[in-house]
Structure 1
Amino acid sequence: MTGAPSAARGPWLLLACSLALAACGYLLLDGGQRTPSSDVAAGSAPHSQLPAQPPSQNTLAPQPSVSSTPPQPAPTPPPRGEGRAADLQIQQLLEKAWPADLPAAQERQLRKKGALLLYADATGVGRDRFPDIFSRRPAQQVAPAFSRFRIQAAIARQDKDAKTSGRAVVHLVWAAADRGGTYTDGRISDLYFHRPKGGAPWTALPLNP
Protein backbone atom coordinates (compact mmCIF):
# COMPACT_ATOMS: atom_id res chain seq x y z
CA MET A 1 0.00 0.00 0.00
CA THR A 2 2.80 2.38 0.78
CA GLY A 3 4.58 1.90 -2.57
CA ALA A 4 1.54 2.57 -4.69
CA PRO A 5 1.62 6.38 -4.42
CA SER A 6 5.27 6.41 -5.45
CA ALA A 7 4.49 4.37 -8.48
CA ALA A 8 1.56 6.65 -9.31
CA ARG A 9 3.66 9.79 -9.01
CA GLY A 10 6.31 8.43 -11.37
CA PRO A 11 4.50 9.03 -14.70
CA TRP A 12 3.21 12.43 -13.63
CA LEU A 13 6.66 13.47 -12.58
CA LEU A 14 8.08 12.36 -15.88
CA LEU A 15 5.28 14.17 -17.73
CA ALA A 16 5.87 17.33 -15.72
CA CYS A 17 9.59 17.20 -16.48
CA SER A 18 8.87 16.65 -20.13
CA LEU A 19 6.52 19.61 -20.23
CA ALA A 20 9.06 21.79 -18.43
CA LEU A 21 11.80 20.78 -20.87
CA ALA A 22 9.46 21.40 -23.83
CA ALA A 23 8.60 24.85 -22.50
CA CYS A 24 12.27 25.69 -22.07
CA GLY A 25 13.03 24.47 -25.56
CA TYR A 26 10.22 26.54 -27.03
CA LEU A 27 11.45 29.65 -25.27
CA LEU A 28 14.98 29.04 -26.42
CA LEU A 29 13.82 28.32 -29.97
CA ASP A 30 11.59 31.39 -30.14
CA GLY A 31 14.35 33.68 -28.85
CA GLY A 32 16.91 32.50 -31.40
CA GLN A 33 14.69 32.71 -34.48
CA ARG A 34 13.32 36.26 -34.25
CA THR A 35 13.07 37.82 -37.69
CA PRO A 36 14.19 41.39 -38.71
CA SER A 37 10.55 42.42 -38.91
CA SER A 38 10.08 41.49 -35.29
CA ASP A 39 13.19 43.47 -34.41
CA VAL A 40 11.78 46.56 -36.13
CA ALA A 41 8.48 46.06 -34.33
CA ALA A 42 10.36 45.83 -31.08
CA GLY A 43 12.15 49.15 -31.81
CA SER A 44 15.56 47.76 -32.78
CA ALA A 45 16.28 48.45 -36.48
CA PRO A 46 18.62 46.19 -38.42
CA HIS A 47 22.15 47.53 -39.00
CA SER A 48 21.48 48.15 -42.71
CA GLN A 49 18.63 50.50 -41.85
CA LEU A 50 20.46 52.58 -39.28
CA PRO A 51 20.74 56.26 -40.20
CA ALA A 52 24.09 57.32 -41.58
CA GLN A 53 26.46 59.46 -39.53
CA PRO A 54 25.60 63.18 -39.67
CA PRO A 55 27.70 65.11 -42.21
CA SER A 56 30.62 67.10 -40.97
CA GLN A 57 30.46 70.85 -40.50
CA ASN A 58 32.41 71.40 -43.73
CA THR A 59 29.84 69.55 -45.80
CA LEU A 60 26.97 71.38 -44.13
CA ALA A 61 28.46 74.77 -45.02
CA PRO A 62 27.41 76.09 -48.44
CA GLN A 63 30.11 75.48 -50.98
CA PRO A 64 31.07 78.39 -53.24
CA SER A 65 29.86 77.87 -56.76
CA VAL A 66 32.64 77.86 -59.33
CA SER A 67 31.21 79.43 -62.45
CA SER A 68 33.71 79.25 -65.26
CA THR A 69 32.64 81.01 -68.42
CA PRO A 70 33.25 78.69 -71.37
CA PRO A 71 35.54 80.15 -74.00
CA GLN A 72 33.63 81.93 -76.66
CA PRO A 73 34.17 80.76 -80.17
CA ALA A 74 36.07 83.08 -82.43
CA PRO A 75 33.79 85.22 -84.56
CA THR A 76 33.50 84.02 -88.11
CA PRO A 77 32.66 86.15 -91.12
CA PRO A 78 29.31 85.63 -92.78
CA PRO A 79 29.22 83.36 -95.81
CA ARG A 80 29.82 84.95 -99.17
CA GLY A 81 26.88 85.90 -101.25
CA GLU A 82 24.90 87.41 -98.37
CA GLY A 83 24.85 90.81 -100.07
CA ARG A 84 24.37 94.04 -98.14
CA ALA A 85 22.87 92.12 -95.22
CA ALA A 86 26.39 91.00 -94.26
CA ASP A 87 28.07 94.42 -94.45
CA LEU A 88 27.30 95.45 -90.87
CA GLN A 89 28.52 92.12 -89.48
CA ILE A 90 31.78 92.41 -91.42
CA GLN A 91 32.27 95.94 -90.12
CA GLN A 92 31.78 94.76 -86.54
CA LEU A 93 34.22 91.89 -87.03
CA LEU A 94 36.90 94.27 -88.30
CA GLU A 95 36.41 96.65 -85.38
CA LYS A 96 36.58 93.79 -82.89
CA ALA A 97 39.67 92.22 -84.45
CA TRP A 98 41.59 95.52 -84.57
CA PRO A 99 40.62 97.91 -81.74
CA ALA A 100 40.71 101.58 -82.67
CA ASP A 101 44.04 103.34 -82.08
CA LEU A 102 43.54 106.58 -84.05
CA PRO A 103 41.45 109.66 -83.28
CA ALA A 104 37.96 109.31 -84.70
CA ALA A 105 38.38 112.29 -87.04
CA GLN A 106 41.59 110.88 -88.51
CA GLU A 107 40.05 107.47 -89.00
CA ARG A 108 37.09 108.92 -90.87
CA GLN A 109 39.47 110.85 -93.12
CA LEU A 110 41.55 107.76 -93.83
CA ARG A 111 38.53 105.58 -94.52
CA LYS A 112 37.20 108.10 -97.03
CA LYS A 113 40.53 108.43 -98.80
CA GLY A 114 41.03 104.69 -98.78
CA ALA A 115 37.62 104.08 -100.38
CA LEU A 116 38.30 106.68 -103.10
CA LEU A 117 41.72 105.23 -103.82
CA LEU A 118 40.41 101.69 -104.05
CA TYR A 119 37.55 102.76 -106.30
CA ALA A 120 39.99 104.56 -108.62
CA ASP A 121 42.29 101.55 -108.75
CA ALA A 122 39.51 99.01 -109.32
CA THR A 123 37.43 100.92 -111.86
CA GLY A 124 39.81 103.50 -113.30
CA VAL A 125 37.46 106.32 -112.32
CA GLY A 126 38.88 109.17 -110.26
CA ARG A 127 42.55 108.44 -110.74
CA ASP A 128 43.21 112.11 -111.28
CA ARG A 129 42.75 112.58 -107.54
CA PHE A 130 45.89 110.56 -106.91
CA PRO A 131 48.43 111.71 -109.52
CA ASP A 132 51.37 110.60 -107.39
CA ILE A 133 50.03 107.07 -107.38
CA PHE A 134 48.78 106.37 -110.87
CA SER A 135 51.28 108.49 -112.82
CA ARG A 136 53.93 105.91 -111.89
CA ARG A 137 52.00 103.10 -113.56
CA PRO A 138 53.03 102.13 -117.09
CA ALA A 139 50.88 103.89 -119.67
CA GLN A 140 50.00 100.67 -121.45
CA GLN A 141 48.65 99.08 -118.29
CA VAL A 142 44.88 98.74 -118.49
CA ALA A 143 42.87 99.33 -115.36
CA PRO A 144 40.83 96.37 -114.14
CA ALA A 145 37.29 96.75 -115.42
CA PHE A 146 35.32 96.14 -112.22
CA SER A 147 31.71 97.18 -112.11
CA ARG A 148 28.99 97.27 -109.45
CA PHE A 149 31.67 98.29 -106.99
CA ARG A 150 30.71 98.51 -103.31
CA ILE A 151 32.63 98.99 -100.08
CA GLN A 152 31.36 96.49 -97.54
CA ALA A 153 33.44 97.53 -94.54
CA ALA A 154 36.49 99.63 -93.75
CA ILE A 155 38.68 100.58 -90.79
CA ALA A 156 41.88 102.61 -90.42
CA ARG A 157 44.59 101.73 -87.92
CA GLN A 158 48.18 102.63 -87.19
CA ASP A 159 50.69 100.69 -89.24
CA LYS A 160 52.60 99.12 -86.39
CA ASP A 161 54.76 97.09 -88.78
CA ALA A 162 56.25 100.26 -90.23
CA LYS A 163 59.80 101.18 -89.24
CA THR A 164 58.86 104.85 -88.94
CA SER A 165 55.91 106.47 -87.20
CA GLY A 166 53.19 108.42 -88.92
CA ARG A 167 51.93 105.57 -91.09
CA ALA A 168 48.46 104.09 -91.23
CA VAL A 169 46.79 101.23 -93.04
CA VAL A 170 43.20 101.13 -94.26
CA HIS A 171 41.63 97.67 -94.29
CA LEU A 172 38.82 97.44 -96.84
CA VAL A 173 36.39 94.67 -97.68
CA TRP A 174 34.61 95.23 -100.96
CA ALA A 175 32.47 93.64 -103.66
CA ALA A 176 32.41 94.03 -107.44
CA ALA A 177 31.81 92.21 -110.71
CA ASP A 178 34.78 91.38 -112.90
CA ARG A 179 34.95 91.65 -116.67
CA GLY A 180 33.25 88.31 -117.07
CA GLY A 181 30.30 89.50 -115.02
CA THR A 182 31.07 87.33 -112.02
CA TYR A 183 30.07 89.23 -108.89
CA THR A 184 32.20 88.47 -105.85
CA ASP A 185 32.01 89.90 -102.37
CA GLY A 186 34.49 89.59 -99.54
CA ARG A 187 37.42 90.98 -101.53
CA ILE A 188 40.15 92.37 -99.25
CA SER A 189 42.60 95.21 -99.84
CA ASP A 190 45.06 97.06 -97.59
CA LEU A 191 46.05 100.60 -98.56
CA TYR A 192 48.79 102.54 -96.80
CA PHE A 193 49.03 106.23 -95.99
CA HIS A 194 51.66 108.50 -94.53
CA ARG A 195 51.32 111.66 -92.51
CA PRO A 196 54.36 113.90 -92.00
CA LYS A 197 54.81 115.59 -88.67
CA GLY A 198 53.12 118.92 -88.16
CA GLY A 199 49.51 117.98 -88.85
CA ALA A 200 49.80 117.59 -92.63
CA PRO A 201 47.03 115.60 -94.35
CA TRP A 202 47.39 111.90 -94.97
CA THR A 203 48.87 111.03 -98.36
CA ALA A 204 48.62 107.69 -100.11
CA LEU A 205 51.70 105.51 -100.47
CA PRO A 206 52.45 103.64 -103.72
CA LEU A 207 50.25 100.64 -104.34
CA ASN A 208 51.66 97.17 -104.48
CA PRO A 209 52.39 96.14 -108.07
Structure 2
Amino acid sequence: MPSASAIGTPSGTGTASEVPPSGAPAAADGPAADARIEAEFVANHPGDLSAQDAAQVRELAVRVWTAETTGEGREQFPSYFPPAGTPLRPYTQVRMQAFSAHTAEGRVIVQLLWAGADPSGAYQDRRPGMLAVTRTATGWEPVR
Protein backbone atom coordinates (compact mmCIF):
# COMPACT_ATOMS: atom_id res chain seq x y z
CA MET A 1 0.00 0.00 0.00
CA PRO A 2 1.42 3.43 -0.89
CA SER A 3 2.26 5.91 1.83
CA ALA A 4 -0.10 8.74 2.73
CA SER A 5 1.93 11.09 0.56
CA ALA A 6 1.31 8.85 -2.44
CA ILE A 7 -2.45 8.37 -2.12
CA GLY A 8 -5.39 10.71 -1.60
CA THR A 9 -7.91 10.90 1.19
CA PRO A 10 -10.76 13.24 2.39
CA SER A 11 -12.58 14.69 5.40
CA GLY A 12 -15.84 13.58 6.92
CA THR A 13 -17.53 10.50 8.24
CA GLY A 14 -19.04 7.29 7.00
CA THR A 15 -21.52 4.91 8.50
CA ALA A 16 -20.65 1.80 10.45
CA SER A 17 -22.01 -0.38 7.66
CA GLU A 18 -19.38 1.07 5.30
CA VAL A 19 -16.48 0.06 7.50
CA PRO A 20 -15.05 -3.45 7.64
CA PRO A 21 -15.34 -4.98 11.11
CA SER A 22 -12.40 -4.31 13.37
CA GLY A 23 -11.09 -5.96 16.50
CA ALA A 24 -10.47 -9.26 14.71
CA PRO A 25 -7.12 -11.11 14.92
CA ALA A 26 -3.98 -9.01 15.30
CA ALA A 27 -3.15 -9.30 11.58
CA ALA A 28 -6.51 -7.66 10.73
CA ASP A 29 -5.14 -4.17 11.40
CA GLY A 30 -1.92 -2.23 10.96
CA PRO A 31 0.12 -1.44 7.85
CA ALA A 32 0.41 -5.11 6.89
CA ALA A 33 -3.38 -5.25 6.48
CA ASP A 34 -3.73 -2.10 4.37
CA ALA A 35 -3.74 -3.86 0.97
CA ARG A 36 -6.48 -6.25 2.11
CA ILE A 37 -8.47 -3.45 3.70
CA GLU A 38 -8.29 -1.43 0.48
CA ALA A 39 -9.30 -4.42 -1.68
CA GLU A 40 -12.36 -5.07 0.52
CA PHE A 41 -13.28 -1.38 0.62
CA VAL A 42 -12.99 -0.90 -3.16
CA ALA A 43 -15.05 -4.04 -3.78
CA ASN A 44 -17.84 -2.55 -1.63
CA HIS A 45 -17.38 1.04 -2.89
CA PRO A 46 -16.44 0.87 -6.58
CA GLY A 47 -15.27 4.09 -8.19
CA ASP A 48 -16.26 5.37 -11.60
CA LEU A 49 -13.34 7.64 -12.57
CA SER A 50 -10.79 6.95 -15.25
CA ALA A 51 -7.47 5.64 -13.94
CA GLN A 52 -5.82 9.02 -14.67
CA ASP A 53 -8.53 11.05 -12.90
CA ALA A 54 -8.60 8.61 -9.97
CA ALA A 55 -4.82 8.96 -9.51
CA GLN A 56 -5.04 12.77 -9.55
CA VAL A 57 -8.00 12.84 -7.17
CA ARG A 58 -6.31 10.36 -4.85
CA GLU A 59 -3.13 12.46 -4.66
CA LEU A 60 -5.17 15.59 -3.89
CA ALA A 61 -7.36 13.80 -1.38
CA VAL A 62 -4.33 12.55 0.56
CA ARG A 63 -2.96 16.08 0.80
CA VAL A 64 -6.33 17.51 1.87
CA TRP A 65 -7.04 14.72 4.37
CA THR A 66 -3.58 15.03 5.87
CA ALA A 67 -4.13 18.78 6.25
CA GLU A 68 -7.58 18.12 7.72
CA THR A 69 -6.36 15.69 10.35
CA THR A 70 -2.86 16.93 11.16
CA GLY A 71 -3.11 20.63 10.34
CA GLU A 72 -0.03 20.36 8.12
CA GLY A 73 -0.48 21.91 4.67
CA ARG A 74 -3.75 23.76 5.29
CA GLU A 75 -2.25 26.90 3.75
CA GLN A 76 -2.25 25.10 0.38
CA PHE A 77 -6.07 25.16 0.40
CA PRO A 78 -7.12 28.62 1.67
CA SER A 79 -10.62 28.43 0.21
CA TYR A 80 -11.21 25.02 1.81
CA PHE A 81 -9.85 25.65 5.30
CA PRO A 82 -11.10 28.73 7.18
CA PRO A 83 -8.54 30.94 8.89
CA ALA A 84 -7.26 29.43 12.11
CA GLY A 85 -9.39 30.42 15.07
CA THR A 86 -9.13 27.77 17.72
CA PRO A 87 -5.88 25.90 18.21
CA LEU A 88 -5.84 22.63 16.31
CA ARG A 89 -5.38 19.44 18.32
CA PRO A 90 -3.95 17.34 15.52
CA TYR A 91 -4.08 13.65 14.83
CA THR A 92 -0.70 11.94 14.54
CA GLN A 93 0.59 8.81 12.80
CA VAL A 94 -1.93 9.43 9.97
CA ARG A 95 -1.91 6.81 7.22
CA MET A 96 -4.36 6.30 4.35
CA GLN A 97 -5.64 2.75 4.01
CA ALA A 98 -8.29 2.75 1.30
CA PHE A 99 -9.72 5.09 -1.31
CA SER A 100 -12.70 5.15 -3.65
CA ALA A 101 -14.09 8.02 -5.72
CA HIS A 102 -17.31 8.37 -7.68
CA THR A 103 -19.13 11.17 -9.45
CA ALA A 104 -22.29 12.62 -7.91
CA GLU A 105 -24.15 15.85 -8.59
CA GLY A 106 -21.39 17.45 -10.65
CA ARG A 107 -18.53 16.67 -8.31
CA VAL A 108 -16.46 13.73 -7.15
CA ILE A 109 -17.11 12.20 -3.75
CA VAL A 110 -14.05 10.59 -2.20
CA GLN A 111 -14.56 7.93 0.44
CA LEU A 112 -11.62 6.62 2.39
CA LEU A 113 -10.42 4.68 5.35
CA TRP A 114 -7.49 5.98 7.31
CA ALA A 115 -5.54 5.21 10.45
CA GLY A 116 -4.17 7.55 13.08
CA ALA A 117 -3.92 8.54 16.71
CA ASP A 118 -6.51 11.05 17.92
CA PRO A 119 -5.51 14.02 20.08
CA SER A 120 -5.80 11.88 23.22
CA GLY A 121 -3.37 9.33 21.72
CA ALA A 122 -5.90 6.57 20.94
CA TYR A 123 -4.78 4.85 17.73
CA GLN A 124 -7.33 3.28 15.41
CA ASP A 125 -7.35 1.74 11.93
CA ARG A 126 -10.28 1.98 9.50
CA ARG A 127 -11.44 5.46 10.41
CA PRO A 128 -13.93 6.55 7.72
CA GLY A 129 -13.59 9.84 5.90
CA MET A 130 -15.27 11.64 3.05
CA LEU A 131 -14.59 14.75 0.99
CA ALA A 132 -15.70 16.28 -2.26
CA VAL A 133 -13.60 17.61 -5.11
CA THR A 134 -14.45 19.32 -8.36
CA ARG A 135 -12.58 19.83 -11.60
CA THR A 136 -11.63 23.43 -12.34
CA ALA A 137 -9.80 25.09 -15.21
CA THR A 138 -6.54 24.49 -13.33
CA GLY A 139 -7.15 20.94 -12.09
CA TRP A 140 -8.93 19.35 -9.13
CA GLU A 141 -9.91 21.38 -6.04
CA PRO A 142 -11.50 20.34 -2.74
CA VAL A 143 -14.97 21.76 -2.03
CA ARG A 144 -17.15 21.86 1.06
The TM-score by the shorter chain falls in which range?
0.7 to 0.9
Q: Considering Cα pairs closer than 8 Å and 6+ residues apart, tell me whether 1 or 2 has the greater RCO.
A: 2
- Equivalences for 1:12-27 in 2 at 5 Å? none
Question: Within 1, Cα distance between the matches of 2:47 and 2:94?
Answer: 26
1:156 alignment counterpart: 101
1:77 alignment counterpart: 20
**How far did residue 200 of structure 1 move?**
4.3
How many positions carry a matched residue from both structures? 122
2:45 alignment counterpart: 98
Q: Which amino acid counterpart does residue 188 of structure 1 have in structure 2?
A: P
Question: Within 2, Cα distance between the matches of 1:200 and 1:125?
Answer: 23
Which residue, 35, 60, 63 being the options, matches 1:88? 35
When you count strand as a share of all residues, which structure comes out higher?
2
Task: Give 4+ residue runs of structure 1 displaced > 3 Å after superposition.
Answer: none
Which residue, 97, 102, 122 being the options, matches 2:69? 122
**How far did residue 187 of structure 1 move?**
0.6
Which residue, 193, 198, 209 being the options, matches 2:133? 193
Question: Within 2, Cα distance between the matches of 1:116 and 1:78?
Answer: 27
Is the 2:46–2:100 contact (alpha carbons within 8 Å) kept by the matching residues of 1? no
Which residue, 66, 77, 88 being the options, matches 1:143? 88
Could you give the per-residue CA deviations for residues 32-74 of structure 1, whole angstroms, max 9, x where no partner exists?
xxxxxxxxxxxxxxxxxxxxxxxxxxxxxxxxxxxxxxxxxxx
1:30 alignment counterpart: none
SS of alignment partner, residue 157 of structure 1: strand
Question: Within 1, Cα distance between the matches of 2:128 and 2:88?
Answer: 18
Question: Within 2, Cα distance between the matches of 1:150 and 1:189?
Answer: 12
2:3 alignment counterpart: none
**How far did residue 78 of structure 1 move?**
5.3
When normalised by structure 1's length, the TM-score is 0.53
1:182 alignment counterpart: 122
Identity %: 33
SS of alignment partner, residue 156 of structure 1: strand
SS of alignment partner, residue 131 of structure 1: coil
Residue segments in structure 1 that go unaligned for 5+ positions in a row = 1-75
**How far did residue 96 of structure 1 move?**
1.1
Residue segments in structure 2 that go unaligned for 5+ positions in a row = 1-18
Question: Within 2, Cα distance between the matches of 1:102 and 1:168?
Answer: 9
Compare CA radii of gyration and give the structure with the larger one.
Answer: 1
**How far did residue 155 of structure 1 move?**
1.9
1:71 alignment counterpart: none
